Structure 1
């Protein structure tokens, strides 16, 4: 477990739809935790991510079959005393994250990367790391969490 004053690097990925790119695996090296915000596509994606770091994953609307039924619709991740709420579709958020003590809400679904603050809560969508959709970028996110800090950035996987 890292020291209380040390930063923890978290990789955030979503909408792989069965495609785990080598560029994603490379960027996720060194992460202490990986969050997959749904539409995983196949269980091998999670197995490959677990080689790098522990994984917190939620089921997306396209995750079907027995392997996917074992995944929760929402999850809570914790790093350095900071709590993160994870679900696939932001429109299904049914709680007040600030009142519940969450520093961040992590979602996927839209394939559009976004980082924004609202009422003291960071909302992060890492975008889609799987097959390119329309002209949207292919991305994931990296978060650095410390005792009093929470920083996130979007990383492009393809030019």
Structure 2
């Protein structure tokens, strides 16, 4: 069993709960808009990091990381990029690339909107956007994910609300 920490859109902000909330993960995936190389250094103190650059990242991040990463972790084929769009509304050219060689999991950011879903049209690919862990943007809740991988399959995803006291209240059945 392997546990991944997934985040995106830190925009130069290392949330004070981030290290604790990702403690114990085997690897951290940062899907771009890092904002400051110190963010990656701080994450490396928690676990090994694989990252891509996003549209706000300058040359210091772009020299260290690629725009796209395709790799295998615990048997899971992962493709990570910052701007991919979303199922049904892919970024120009992304839909064709995914259709030609779909990964088991696509991780992206950019929208600041937390979204996890299976895409039946792409061999049940798992689409993951961990939302945004930084302060900058329209999002109101800072999030990241913990994802469990076993035998090449993502088996469990847990949303981490970095500011638990400001998370939306659960819906009631009343």
* TM-score, length of structure 2 as denominator length: 0.81
Which residue in the other structure is 2:51 paired with?
57
Whole-Å Cα distance in 1 between the matches of residues 55 and 148 of structure 2? 28
The residue that corresponds to 1:95 in the other structure is: 97
Structure 1 residue 35 corresponds to structure 2 residue 29:
yes
Say whether 1:123 aligns with 2:131. Answer: no
User: Could you tell me how far 1:37 is from its partner in structure 2?
Assistant: 0.2
Q: Distance in 2 between matches of 1:44 and 1:148?
A: 31
Tell me the CA shift for residue 135 of structure 1.
4.7
Q: Find the residue that maps to 1:12 and give its secondary structure.
A: strand
For the structure 1 residues 149 and 62, does the alpha-carbon distance in structure 2 shift closer, same or farther, using more than 3 Å as the test?
A: same
Equivalent residue number for residue 170 of structure 2 = none
Q: Which of 40, 46, 59 is the matching residue for 2:40?
A: 46
User: Helix, strand or coil: the match of 2:112?
Assistant: coil
Q: 5+ residue gaps in structure 2?
A: 85-90, 167-174
Within 2, Cα distance between the matches of 1:154 and 1:55? 19
Residues 1-159 of structure 1 correspond to what in structure 2 (within 5 A)? 7-90=1-84, 91=91, 93=94, 95-96=97-98, 100=101, 102-119=103-120, 120-131=124-135, 133-147=137-151, 149-150=153-154, 151-158=156-163, 159=166
Rg (Cα) greater in structure: 2
Question: What is the root-mean-square deviation in Å for CA atoms of aligned residues?
Answer: 1.7
SS of the counterpart of 2:151?
coil
TM-score normalized with structure 1 length = 0.88
Distance (Å, rounded) in 1 between the aligned partners of 2:125 and 2:10: 25
Q: Count the aligned residue pairs.
A: 152
CA spacing shift, 1:67–1:96, aligned 2, 3 Å: closer
17-26 or 144-153: bigger deviation? 144-153
1:65 Cα offset (Å): 2.5
